[in-house]
Amino acid sequence: MNKDISAPQRTKEIIAKHNFSFKKSLGQNFLIDQNILNNIVSAADLSPDSGVIEIGPGIGSLTERLAKKAKNVVAFEIDQRLIPILEETLEPYENAKVINQDVLEADIHAVIEENFSDGQDIMVVANLPYYVTTPIILKLLNDNLPIRGIVIMIQKEVADRIAAKPSTKEYGSLSIAIQFFAEAETVMTVPHTVFIPKPNVDSAVIKITKRTEPLAIVKDEEFMFEVVRASFAQRRKTIINNLKSFFGKDEKDKVEQALNASGIDPKRRGETLSIEEFAKLSDELHHLLKE
């Protein structure tokens, strides 16, 4: 018998043995394609000294492969019903630990301090439930964790938005929120047929590598992201009209002044601006409106 947890027959046996029922609300889809699992692990570029944080291990298919490759793996699983299953499937792997907690509520800094050594190479590797993809990625990047990067399988449409370049229809505030802190590249597309149960959409594996410094130094990062979101509020509108709606008509002159000082044509749309242009514009707006 093929002992890999991810082998379709073994996955089905585990599910049947524990009488496990999938919760739609938790976006549970178990991957049963070993090549794709290998590609995910390979994209993480792990050494025998690496540490891994996994989110949503399910029955342990990816965890098993990570445990064979890395020094230690800590997995966050929100579903209490999966804990006894994981205890059984991961029993051969002493270097794998499961924490029954919602990663969005977890103190990841404390978990890293407790489970990984100082300066250890750490990657986040996960097959993320679609409904919480964006909050999880943003938490991982905004919490300033000592991680090298993130390799995750997510809904293809979201992956396209994360890796998008300016002047494409996918490019938007999510692309900028992530690329400001990290480089993002799509590793592979994953058809919906390789999961139990099958989701309705295709997935993609994306690799997000943290930058040593943000792409631009700005006076106020939070304000910059407000400006970015405002600029995409109505994609068909010009940047000046979107910013006027956001800051109010009274500030129209200052908005125009900031655009001119940044060398940005007020008739352009938000999706044509690079991250560096947004950084410059937000600093000019900050100077005129906030200082």
pLDDT in tens, 58-112: 999 999 999 999 999 999 999 999 999 999 999 999 999 999 999 999 999 999 9
Distance of alpha carbon 291 from alpha carbon 285, whole angstroms: 9
Distance of alpha carbon 79 from alpha carbon 83, whole angstroms: 7
Q: What is the CA radius of gyration of the chain?
A: 22
Beta bridge partners of 152: 126, 206
Residue 42 near residue 69, CB atoms below 8 Å: no
Q: Do residues 37 and 140 share a domain?
A: yes
Three-class SS of residue 61? Answer: helix
**Which of these three, 180, 210, 240, is where a domain ends?**
210
Assigned domain for 188 exists = yes
Task: State the pairing for strand pair 30-31/195-196.
Answer: antiparallel
Q: Do residues 169 and 46 share a domain?
A: yes
Q: Do residues 109 and 160 share a domain?
A: yes
Q: Do residues 241 and 203 share a domain?
A: no
CA dihedral 195, 197, 200, 205 (to 10 degrees): -30
Residue 6 near residue 32, CB atoms below 8 Å: yes
Q: Do residues 104 and 199 share a domain?
A: yes
Residue 227's CATH number: 1.10.8.100
Distance of alpha carbon 242 from alpha carbon 248, whole angstroms: 10
Supply φ then ψ for residue 246, to 5 degrees: -75, -45
Would you say 77 is a known binding-site residue?
Answer: yes
Percent of the chain at pLDDT > 90 equals: 86
* pLDDT for res 1: 41
Question: Per residue in 149-193, pLDDT tens?
Answer: 999 999 999 999 999 999 999 999 999 999 999 999 999 999 999
Assigned domain for 3 exists = no
Residue 37 near residue 141, CB atoms below 8 Å: no
Would you say 90 is a known binding-site residue?
Answer: no
Residue 17 scores a pLDDT above 90: yes
Give the closest residue to 260 by CA, choosing from 276, 279, 284, 244: 284
Q: Do residues 205 and 240 share a domain?
A: no
The owner of tokens 């792990």 is 46
Residue 15 near residue 7, CB atoms below 8 Å: no
Give the closest residue to 263 by CA, choosing from 250, 248, 274, 249: 274
Assigned domain for 215 exists = no
Query: What pLDDT band is residue 27 in, cutting at 50, 70 and 90?
Result: confident
Q: Do residues 175 and 272 share a domain?
A: no
Q: Which residues form the domain of 77?
A: 8-210
Residue 135 scores a pLDDT above 80: yes
Q: Do residues 227 and 182 share a domain?
A: no
Question: Per residue in 195-246, pLDDT tens?
Answer: 888 888 999 999 999 999 999 999 999 999 999 999 999 999 999 999 999 9
Q: What is the mean pLDDT of residues 11-32?
A: 86
Assigned domain for 125 exists = yes
Q: Do residues 203 and 225 share a domain?
A: no
* pLDDT for res 129: 78
**Which of these three, 177, 210, 243, is where a domain ends?**
210
Q: HSE of 229 in the Cβ direction (CA atoms, 13 Å)?
A: 9
Assigned domain for 1 exists = no
Would you say 19 is a known binding-site residue?
Answer: no
Residue 20's CATH number: 3.40.50.150
Assigned domain for 2 exists = no
Would you say 241 is a known binding-site residue?
Answer: no
**Which of these three, 185, 210, 235, is where a domain ends?**
210
Would you say 149 is a known binding-site residue?
Answer: no
Would you say 31 is a known binding-site residue?
Answer: yes
Q: Do residues 234 and 188 share a domain?
A: no
